[in-house]
Amino acid sequence: MNPRILVLGADGQLGREIQRLYTIKNFEFIFVNRQNLDITNYSGLLASVDGLKPDWIINCAAFTNVDRAEIEKDACWAANAQGPRNIAMICSSKKIRLIHISTDSVFASENYLFNKISDVTNPINEYSRAKVAGERAIIENSNSDYWIIRTAWLYGKDGKNFVSAILGKLQMNKPFHVVDDQFGQPTWTQNVVHAIFGILESVMNPGILHIATPSVTSRLEWARTIAEIFNYDVSLILPTKSTQNKGVAIRPKYSLIEPSKIEGIRNDWLIPPKVSLSHFFAS
């Protein structure tokens, strides 16, 4: 019997990318969204897992609106901390392997430095504090068969992300501002999915992985790159500072993660982001 993979949060941009790309013939994928299965409901989650009997769970479910997380704290912590705890406890008791998606923003710095997997986390907003708690819940409540993937500045064909937001503004053909003092590693969802497939196929050593491009860019530089690739007027994009941003949450200047290089599988996330964006545009 082929191993069964249960994907939670299938309506998010990463979940949809898995649905678009999965071609592993020796695996059976089951996709569920929040309407089908709420990870914050332990008894409901346990009953579903007992019925579906997965060999793996991929948790893409999360509360991802960083500004709303400052206001809807209970909902953020339920999805990003309690949900992963529920999943980890069930996976441990049922001997199910777990892949969990986390974020670069578990780190924050005023300096240009790449955080290693072993570095101590230091979140600065409610969203990232809850994500750190989710990581810890998995580590403390799982057996040894868990993989935590930290990734950064995700963009893909589905859902809200920086690339789609910038394209929407460029299409209005009016000037707009983008901050020039926040820096990160734009990462295509397809590259993260290839890392997930690599885990499923090779069953590499468990633990934390950093799946993000090694290249660093500012929000402003990335927005202008998007305009260039999609043939929009770059002069529409004007610089501003994060202190002028009307967002509710504090965001780190740098939240860089040292990318993992995994032997024996595709390491697509190590491609420069401009190249990946060109591939995204052509896909």
Which one of 22, 42, 112, 127 is the catalytic residue?
A: 127
Whether 232 sits among the annotated catalytic residues: the reply is no
What radius of gyration do the chain's Cα atoms show? 19
CA 210 to chain centre: 11
CB 123 within 8 A of CB 70: no
Give the integer Cα–Cα distance in Å for 104 and 186. 11
CA-based torsion, 238, 243, 248, 251: positive or negative: positive
CB 92 within 8 A of CB 46: no
Q: Kindly list the catalytic residues.
A: 127
